[in-house]
Amino acid sequence: MSKLAGESESNLRKAFEEAEKNAPAIIFIDELDAIAPKREKTHGEVERRIVSQLLTLMDGLKQRAHVIVMAATNRPNSIDPALRRFGRFDREVDIGIPDATGRLEILQIHTKNMKLADDVDLEQVANETHGHVGADLAALCSEAALQAIRKKMDLIDLEDETIDAEVMNSLAVTMDDFRWALSQSNPSALRETVVEVPQVTWEDIGGLEDVKRELQELVQYPVEHPDKFLKFGMTPSKGVLFYGPPGCGKTLLAKAIANECQANFISIKGPELLTMWFGESEANVREIFDKARQAAPCVLFFDELDSIAKARGGNIGDGGGAADRVINQILTEMDGMSTKTNTKQKR
Q: Please spell the DSSP secondary structure of 227-256, one letter per residue.
A: HHHHHTT----SEE----STTSSHHHHHHH
d(CA 125, CA 183): 12
Write out pLDDT tens, residues 61-99.
776 678 889 999 888 888 888 888 888 888 888 887 788
255: amino acid identity, one letter: K
Asked whether residue 320 carries a pLDDT value surpassing 70, the answer given is no
Distances (CA, A) of 258 to 233, 238, 266, 345: 25, 15, 10, 11
Q: Is 227 exposed, middle or buried (0-12, 13-18, 19+ CB in 10 A)?
A: exposed
Domains for the chain: give ranges and CATH numbers.
Answer: 7-84 (3.40.50.300), 100-185 (1.10.8.60), 196-346 (3.40.50.300)
Q: What is the pLDDT of residue 72?
A: 92
Contact criterion met (CB below 8 Å) for 274 and 323: yes
- Angle of the 134-150 helix axis to the 100-110 helix axis, nearest 10: 50
Region class of 131: left (phi > 0), else alpha (psi between -120 and 50), else beta: left
Write out pLDDT tens, residues 217-251.
787 777 777 777 777 777 777 788 888 888 787 88
Distances (CA, A) of 225 to 63, 218, 219, 234, 295: 50, 12, 10, 12, 18
d(CA 292, CA 311): 26
Rounded to two decimals, what is the model's pTM? 0.60
Asked whether residue 339 carries a pLDDT value surpassing 50, the answer given is no
Mean pLDDT of the chain: 78
Q: Three-state DSSP class for 305? A: helix
Q: Three-state DSSP class for 156? A: coil
Higher per-residue pLDDT: 321 or 194 = 321
